[in-house]
A and B are shown apart, each in its own frame.
Chain A
Amino acid sequence: MTVLHPRVDAQIDPRSDDSAELRPYLAGMFTNSLDAAVAAAKEGAPPAGEAVIRVRGLHKRYGAQEAVGGIDLEVTRGEIFAFLGPNGAGKTTTVEILEGFRQASGGSIEVLGEDPWQAPGSWRARLGIVLQESGAEPGLTVRECVALYAGYYPAPRNIDETIALAGLAAQSGERATALSGGQRRRLDVALALIGDPELIFLDEPTTGFDPSARRAAWEVVAGLRELGKTIFLTTHYMEEAERLADRIAVIAAGRIVAEGTPQTLGGRQLEAAQISFRLPETVDAFGELPPALAERVQRDQHGSVLLASTAVTADLHMLSGWALERDLELDELEVTRPTLEDVYLQLTSEE
């Protein structure tokens, strides 16, 4: 983690509002005159791999209803951890317990070495939270909002630098309530960052964003990773989790149903790939294809031929050899693997 930041000498274009401008800025944080000190500070920092969040057997009951039924989680320093699950699965409850807003009914919970429910104010200084829904401070400008929150922390970041980091330099003097939805979300990010936290909770940070705003937000999150922050992310966008997360856990009906990297979640890497193509009407796929393939093919409702394959190279070789012999063109030939969304839907529908 980095608590100590170099002062940034680079001048930020105050009109810049897009992520492209942000990247050199973030890079600049590591290439100025003090980068040696930063590197040294990083060496002194707790080692990566240390658990920042450690949860064992977390339970939460509301009356007779069990919202979270005994889950284990471990998030290590410096990683981006995505916590996925359908609405009502216990996701928000879990996050609010980790943030110290709700008390668990049972289990051991440790966040930055403390039980969130009993943690002192100094613990909150090490945490940044982007809430799922939070309005803008009424009547205050963007800069005033950030200055208000800066005053809450013992060692805040530089106010204007943080506003620029969130890509709001041009809106600094505008009333927070006048910002667009995406800009307001950036302000939330700036407010979560101003205390220079070690651990950041991002609860559905890009819900309601247009695609370009989402990409810009991803750049910001990626920048936070470069700063050595640990990030606990919840999202409904699988592309977001896939793009950002080092590890993913899926919660459904109050239990963790899968955990892994975006590539391996739910045994995704082991699942069969699917080869699909079209054949001319005159060819009988089931009768004419090599028997090794024919026994695995299906036709979908659009007439495409689908072939489940665990040995894609060999199957393609056989298939293309067969097609060349007959001088056939395999239209729309495609190899697809189950997307993270496919895996997620499968995992969460089983409950």
Chain B
Amino acid sequence: MYFLIKRLIRIWRQRQAQRATLAVAPAQEAVMSVSPPSAPRADGPSASSRGMLALLLHEALYDLRISARNPRARFFGFFFPIVLLVVFNGVFGNGHTIVDGHRVSLKVFYVPGILTMSIVTNAYASLVILVSGLREQGILKRRRATPVPAAILIGGQALSTVVMTAVAGTILLVIAKLAYGVGIAAPAMLAIACTALVGTLAFAGIGYAISGMIGSQEAAQPVVQMTMLPLWFISGVFIPIANLSRGLKDLADVFPVQPLANSLHLASVHSSFSASISATDIVVLAAWAAGAAAFAAWRFSWLPPGVTA
């Protein structure tokens, strides 16, 4: 994970350096030509040549540093899922359960289960805590006081979240393969990547929606745990849903953890792409993503809460 992040940062630095050397020449020219300063500035050449994609990447790389250097995000998003994988496999690893009609070892069950947990923790919990903290401290307001579009600020954070989630998930799958021999076929792996991407965006969207309603970072912690923890137990993350009552299963279907976990479980027992992903689950997750984004767009505030009546 560090390697990847450091590499990204190195590439980015090289680009910055290139940009800086390119920027010097026109800047000096501008000093000499003494044009009326305010007119060309608003949409000057540098603004249009930079492009929105470069700006998005700029934002994402700094958000990635902020997230990767946060000890709490590292612990809960990266190390804690690994610890749980080791513990569950150690305690229950010899048991069996039924996933989509296949009898499989609980080792096979726990890999997609804990992967679900890792995705939700990185995309939802860490993001809610980060964003509510940034807003509480006026950092979002200060970023919003610059010319950067709101879509870039949110998109950059979403992109950073996708990278964090991808790195954490990859580490988890590598450990599953090396330590527990739980391998996943290449087409199924592609299905996992698709499901994980849609799931990450859905939970990041929900994260933004929820953080719009939380006043402080301190309050974010219990809200996150209260909303996340019960769902682990009824959505096939810690306990196979084969063991659950009908009522709990129906309850789990109302929330977005179940479709994410379900599709990831499919990929652990099938090898073809089509059998490893559930179109229904993807549609449900996409609907959550869209609904949450719409709610966030309506409710989200950049200003610290309660400063002025």
Contacts and interface: CB of A to CB of B under 8 A. Distances in A.
Interface of A: 1-7, 34, 37-38, 40-41, 44-46, 62, 65, 67, 92-93, 96, 99, 101-102, 120-127, 129, 131, 133-140, 144, 147-149, 151-155, 188, 191, 195, 198
A62 B306 CA distance: 13
A154 B147 contact: yes
10 contacts: A1-B38, A6-B31, A34-B31, A62-B309, A102-B308, A135-B137, A135-B139, A136-B139, A152-B143, A153-B146
Nearest to A129: B145
B139 A134 contact: yes
Given A4-B37, A40-B34, A124-B147, A148 B137 contact: no
B65 A140 contact: yes
A99 B30 CA distance: 29
Contacts of B75: none
A133 B36 CA distance: 35
A139 B143 CA distance: 16
A92 B138 CA distance: 14
Nearest to B54: A151
B62 A99 contact: no
Given A154-B41, A155-B46, A67 B309 contact: yes
Interface in B124-168: 133-134, 137-139, 141-149
B308 A155 contact: no
Given A67-B309, A125-B42, A144-B62, A41 B147 contact: no
Contacts of B146: 124-125, 149, 152-153, 195
Contacts of B46: 154-155
B35 interface: yes
Contact of B30 (A4, A126, A131, A154): A4
Nearest to A175: B69
Contacts of B41: 3, 122, 125-126, 154-155
B222 interface: no
Contact of A37 (B34, B62, B307): B34
A140 B31 contact: no
A177 B143 CA distance: 17
A152 B38 contact: no
A138 B137 CA distance: 10
A139 B43 contact: no
Given A37-B32, A101-B303, A131 B142 contact: yes
B55 A151 contact: yes
Contacts of A152: 55, 143, 146-148
Nearest to A41: B34
B42 A134 contact: no
Interface of A: prevailing SS: loop
B58 interface: yes
A38 B139 CA distance: 34
B42 A122 contact: yes
Given A41-B37, A126-B41, A151 B58 contact: yes
Given A138-B66, A153-B147, A155-B44, A126 B138 contact: no
A140 B141 CA distance: 17
Contacts of A138: 66, 69-70, 133-134
Contacts, number: 142
A328 B62 CA distance: 74
Contacts of A1: 37-38
Nearest to B302: A101
A122 B41 CA distance: 8
B144 to A, nearest CB: 8
A270 B277 CA distance: 83
Given A44-B37, A134-B142, A140-B62, A154 B303 contact: no
A44 B139 contact: no
Contact of A135 (B43, B68, B138, B308): B138
Nearest to B136: A135
A154 B38 CA distance: 12
Q: Which of B37, B42, B47, B50 has the most CB of A within 10 A?
A: B37
Contacts of B139: 134-137
A225 to B, nearest CB: 18
B138 A134 contact: yes
The 10 closest A-B pairs by CB, nearest first: A135-B137, A154-B47, A3-B37, A139-B69, A122-B42, A134-B138, A152-B146, A121-B147, A124-B147, A152-B148
B36 to A, nearest CB: 5
Nearest to B32: A37
Contact of B37 (A45, A101, A127, A137): A45
Contacts of A102: 308
Nearest to B16: A147
B163 to A, nearest CB: 15
B304 interface: yes
A48 B234 CA distance: 68
Contacts of B43: 122, 154
A342 B264 CA distance: 71
Given A62-B309, A133-B304, A125 B147 contact: yes
A3 B146 CA distance: 17
Nearest to A125: B147
Nearest to B68: A139
Contacts of A120: 42
A62 B148 CA distance: 29
B31 A129 contact: no
